[in-house]
Every structure is written in structure tokens, then in C-alpha cells.
Amino acid sequence: MASLHDSFFKFVFARPERAAELLTLSLPNRVLRQLDLDSLRPVKGSFVLSKLRETYSDLLFETSLRSSREDRGKLFVYLLFEHKSAADPSTILQLLGYMIEIWHPYRVRNARDLPHIIGVVVYHGRQRWDAPRAFSDYFSTTESFGTMDPQFRPLLIDVARIPRDALERFTTITQSALSALRYAFERKEVLLRAALPPQVTDVQTGELMDYFRGLVSYLLRVSPREEENAILKIVKTPSAREVVVTIAEKYINEGRTRGRSEGTLAERRGVLIRLLEKKFGITQQERTLIEHIEDLDRLAAALDEILFAETKQQVLARLS
């Protein structure tokens, strides 16, 4: 489920113009005046560790500082999107670690000429953010050592608690996307009405239609048939209704195929484990290995092998 929200966030805010709008929500005016957000451009790659990608995703942008000098200076904006039911106390530490990774190639060349990085945590959770917001929050004592204590306080956008009047300042797509994320934990009717205003559902072509397809894909992924009927009560134009029906059918058919495939996999794993147990005996490690095999052909080869195999290793070799 987390990757569903992450994918939608990236689908919308990987576009520089959308990211620029998001930054206007969080950056103070004194900072905004120094940035040339019209020059915002994405930087490829991710700094999030693979084991954390179920709950985190990230976007990195490069922009310029407004200055009278010819070399206006480079600045990075790093968006860390966190989807958890509650805030992770380690988020700020992780963000700082990722920023150090961004600085690494510059540090190698010239450690005294690092670009600025504006770190932004975009939090998408049911519960209000109650984790540390600054580096100083991690220390258990109340004593302060002034400049000897690390000073780091990134910006925080708590998506589920963005004020409604703030949403109204954005363009149609950004407003709809933030509304979809903001109301993701509310009742279905509230979510759909907020994410599907007439400006989105009445569109026929162009960028809005591309966004509408992505939005409908996001809304339908959890329960295609149920959500399809609810969305069709809101969407009126024939072209938009066709999009909804087409995407819903795609997910329903994928679910059926996945269900059949998963059923066949489970059956073959179970048969192989039972036959090995009866013929040779099986360890827990070997059982776990079989239970994680996702290839039907490899399982079939092992089942064929067990009929005439003289050793267990002959059978297990077919799984590698």
C-alpha cells in the first residue's frame, strides 16, 4: 500500500512545476525570494536504501540562486516522502544521511565549496507528526552547548493536515493531487469529492487528461469494482467515464490473473514440500526456500525430478 502512495506522489511532483508549487507551501518568503524556481530541474536517482523503500521515496531537484553574479550558484531541493501510519522518529537522521550522500561528490572535489540543500520532509500518515523535527530533539538532556550542538531543522509538510484554504491557492492538478493524499484516510465520499472536482473530471484532452488517468489509477488500486461505481457517480463526461471503466477492468483482470497464479504457486510449493518430506525429509531452511520460489517452471522441474531422484540435492538443484 505504501508504494501505491509513493508512486502517485512521484507521478505528480516529479514535474518541476508541481514541485515548485509544493515548495511555495512550505518555504518562508525570505528563502523563496532567493530561489529561481523557474529553473527547477529534476536530478535522476534515489538515495533511499532499498530496505526502506516500502515507506520512503525521494525526489531531488537542482535550481539556481537569484544573484547578480554570472555564476548564480547551485542549490538542491531534496523532497523525502514518508508514508507511515505514524511518524518515524529516525526520519530527520535519515534525511541528513541522504543529504550527506548528495554532498559526497562535491566534498571529494572541494569540501569548502558545497551547494546548499533544502531538505523537505513530506509526511503522509494518519497520525499527527510527533517525531523529532530538529536534530536537537534527539538529545535526552535539556542542556545546550550552543554552536557545539549540530543545528539542523528541515521543513515539514504534513499532507493530511494541510489547511483547506492553502489548497485553494494551487493550480487544478496540484490541488487535486494534494487533496487525494490529504483525504486518503477519510471516508470514500470525502476523498473522491475532494480529489475529483469538475475541473478534473470534465476535461477531455491534454495534460489534465493524463493526470486524470494517473489519479484514477491511484484511486482504483485498492478496490477496483467498488471504487469504479463510486467514481462513476461523480464523473459525467463520456471520455472520462471510459477512462474509469477501462482502468477498473484492467485492475480487476490483473487481480484475477494474480489470484490464479498465486493459487497455482501455492499448490505446487505445497506438493513439493509434502513429497520431499515423505521421501527424504526436509529442514525448515529448505521449506522456507521452497515457499519463496516464484517461478512456476522451476517448481515444475523439481516436481518432475523428485519422481526418480536418488538424493534430495538433485531435487533442490532444480530450484536454483
Report residue 47 CA to chain centroid gap: 13
Task: Provide, rounded to the nearest whole percent, the portion of the chain with pLDDT above 70.
Answer: 89
Q: In this prediction, what percent of the chain has a pLDDT beyond 90?
A: 22
Q: Report the alpha-carbon distance of residue 133 to residue 117 in Å, rounded.
A: 17
Q: What is the pLDDT of residue 68?
A: 44
Cβ distance 220 to 246 under 8 Å?
Answer: no
Checking phi first, is residue 115 left (phi over 0); if not, alpha (psi -120 to 50) or beta?
A: beta
- Smallest CA-to-CA distance from 115 within 73, 58, 59, 66 is with 73
Pick from 37, 91, 99, 30: which is nearest to 64 by CA?
A: 37
Give me the pLDDT at residue 226, please. 73
- How many Å separate Cα 180 from the centre of its chain? 14
The pLDDT value given to residue 126 = 83
Has residue 72 got a pLDDT over 70?
no
Least confident of 39-43, 221-225, 274-278: 221-225
- Which comes out higher in pLDDT, residue 203 or 257? 203
> Strand pairing partners for 194?
none
**pLDDT on residue 189:** 85
**Residues whose CB is less than 8 angstroms from the CB of residue 18 and which lie 6 or more positions away in sequence, other chains included:** 12, 173, 174, 177
With 0-12 / 13-18 / 19 or more C-beta atoms within 10 angstroms meaning exposed / middle / buried, residue 35 is: buried
**AA letter at 82:** E
User: Distance between CA atoms of 143 and 237, rounded to whole angstroms?
Assistant: 63
Separation of first and last alpha carbons in the chain? 30
Q: Residue 160: which of 190, 118, 197, 196 has the closest Cα? A: 190
pLDDT at 25: 80
Q: pLDDT-derived band of residue 70, with 50, 70 and 90 as boundaries? A: very low
